[in-house]
């Protein structure tokens, strides 16, 4: 096969000889002519020129070595041809440990394919029993922030409500970035064997992009504008806490940690706030936006919760994993309480919206505290169902202290 070798090992070509003459001792640069000569002299290419093909993949026996399987016919089900239909027909249920190669699950490969040191190779590290169905749902329920929102029906709002909604949406715009920026860099770390997680996280990145898009569009669509960017660590820094620097916190050091912190703690809270958004939204268009983002967000939280369950059921040492998760949750809850529920811009914009205006601020604040308490209860019951009981350890205070 053609090998693109390092510059030092390329055979001398006329061009390279010229370089050597002109600049003796200098590392030789690969030229187009030199590369073409190298390709042409490759034994396989030379064989092809004389009518000799390889065809080892074509002649390989299915299920052994170079060819995966043959005679598989996956039949579409009611919704079309789903990944579940493929899985049933191809019988490529993932094993607990992925091989250290770059190959799609079910493919054959040559013995000399070489090792790929994937970072995430254990099923227990990524799996959730609903992962593939969530991906199919993500694909079938994609929506379009340009055309699927009835923008023309947006009605003018009083100044205080428009300003509060723009502030809240500015915060949400930033939260959507956080999710994508933290999750997407993990894509190349998953072994190709677990295509389900690669596909699902890619679909989530698209969901979050659309959320940022729709909040940005709403901010500029009704006479308002972008509000104040939130300052990380504001509330706890004032109280003497040490979470001011997001980059230095260890929440994002493994996929299990990332998924718990983002899918379960952060997006669980966001999901509760989107549900509240139907109440916060003062126009049908705003309610529609919150409904649409909520259905996407529910998938993200669902993966995180079911992954947590799979992790606790299948980790090599479940008890130490549970303790590790408790320690992580201690930090994640503090971090996201600060990022989210103690942000002045979020507290105050939600209080104005819930109180139907600046005059109803005190009443709105009580409603906000009620929503927080509901979020906390939903979070605790969700993780308890997954096998992590934090009733006694939760760092979210039972009530917001104001």
Q: Which residues bind Fe ion (CB under 5 A)?
A: 176, 179, 208, 211, 267, 297, 300
Q: Least distance (Å) from Fe ion to the CB of residue 78?
A: 28
Q: Tokens representing 314?
A: 């299948």
| Least distance between Fe ion and beta carbon 211 (Å) | 4
Nearer to Fe ion, 270 or 311 (CB): 270
Q: How far is the CB of 53 from Fe ion (least distance, A)?
A: 49
Can you read off the two tokens belonging to residue 271?
């999901």
Q: How far is CA 1 from CA 34, 44, 105, in A?
A: 17, 5, 24
Task: Quickly tell me which residue has 């529609």 as its tokens.
Answer: 288
Q: Which of 211, 307 has the CB closer to Fe ion?
A: 211
Nearer to Fe ion, 178 or 358 (CB): 178
Q: Where are the alpha helices (DSSP H) in 184-266?
A: 195-220, 234-238, 255-259
**DSSP symbol at 31:** P
Question: Cβ(196)–Cβ(303) under 8 Å?
Answer: no
* Cβ contact 34:17 at 8 Å: no
Rounded to a whole number of angstroms, the minimum distance from the CB of residue 133 to Fe ion is 17
Nearest CB to Fe ion, comparing residues 213 and 321 = 213
Q: Tell me the two tokens of residue 402.
A: 């104001």
Of 160 and 286, which has the nearer Cβ to Fe ion?
286
How many residues are present in the chain? 402
Within a 10 A sphere around the Cβ of 153, how many other Cβ atoms?
10
Least CB distance from residue 207 to Fe ion, whole Å? Answer: 6
Contact criterion met (CB below 8 Å) for 114 and 101: yes
| Minimum CB distance to Fe ion, residue 179 (Å) | 5
Question: Which CB atom, from 136 or from 208, has the smaller least distance to Fe ion?
Answer: 208
């Amino acid at each position: 096969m053609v090998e693109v070798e390092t510059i030092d090992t390329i055979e001398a070509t006329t061009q390279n000889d010229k370089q050597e003459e002109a600049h003796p001792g200098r590392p030789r640069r690969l030229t187009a002519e030199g590369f073409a000569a190298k390709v042409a002299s490759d034994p396989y290419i030379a064989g092809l020129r004389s009518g000799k093909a390889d065809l080892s993949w074509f002649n390989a026996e299915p299920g052994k070595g170079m060819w995966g399987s043959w005679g598989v016919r996956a039949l579409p089900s009611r919704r079309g041809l789903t990944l579940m239909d493929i899985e049933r027909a191809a019988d490529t249920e993932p094993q607990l440990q992925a091989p250290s190669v770059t190959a799609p699950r079910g493919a054959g490969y040559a013995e000399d394919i070489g090792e790929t040191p994937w970072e995430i190779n254990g099923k227990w590290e990524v799996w959730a029993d609903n992962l593939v169905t969530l991906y199919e749902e993500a694909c079938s329920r994609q929506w379009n922030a340009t055309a699927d929102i009835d923008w023309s029906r947006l009605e003018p709002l009083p100044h205080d409500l428009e300003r509060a909604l723009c502030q809240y949406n500015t915060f949400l715009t930033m939260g959507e970035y956080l999710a994508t920026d933290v999750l997407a860099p993990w894509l190349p770390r998953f072994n190709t064997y677990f295509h389900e997680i690669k596909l699902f996280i890619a679909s989530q990145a698209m969901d979050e992009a659309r959320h940022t898009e729709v909040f940005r569009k709403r901010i500029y669509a009704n006479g308002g504008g972008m509000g104040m960017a939130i300052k990380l660590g504001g509330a706890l820094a004032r109280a003497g806490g040490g979470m001011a620097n997001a980059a230095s916190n260890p929440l994002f050091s493994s996929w299990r940690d990332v998924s718990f912190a983002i899918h379960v703690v952060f997006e669980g809270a966001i999901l509760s706030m989107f549900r509240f958004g139907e109440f916060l939204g003062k126009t049908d268009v705003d309610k529609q936006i919150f409904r649409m983002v909520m259905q996407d967000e529910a998938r993200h939280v669902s993966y995180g919760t079911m992954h947590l369950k799979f992790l606790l059921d299948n980790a090599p040492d479940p008890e130490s994993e549970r303790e590790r998760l408790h320690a992580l949750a201690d930090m994640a809850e503090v971090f996201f309480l600060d990022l989210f529920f103690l942000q002045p811009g979020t507290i105050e914009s939600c209080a104005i919206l819930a109180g139907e205006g600046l005059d109803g601020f005190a009443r709105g604040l009580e409603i906000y505290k009620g929503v927080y308490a509901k979020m906390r209860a939903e979070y605790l019951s969700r993780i308890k169902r997954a096998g992590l009981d934090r009733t006694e350890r939760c760092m979210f205070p039972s009530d917001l202290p104001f």
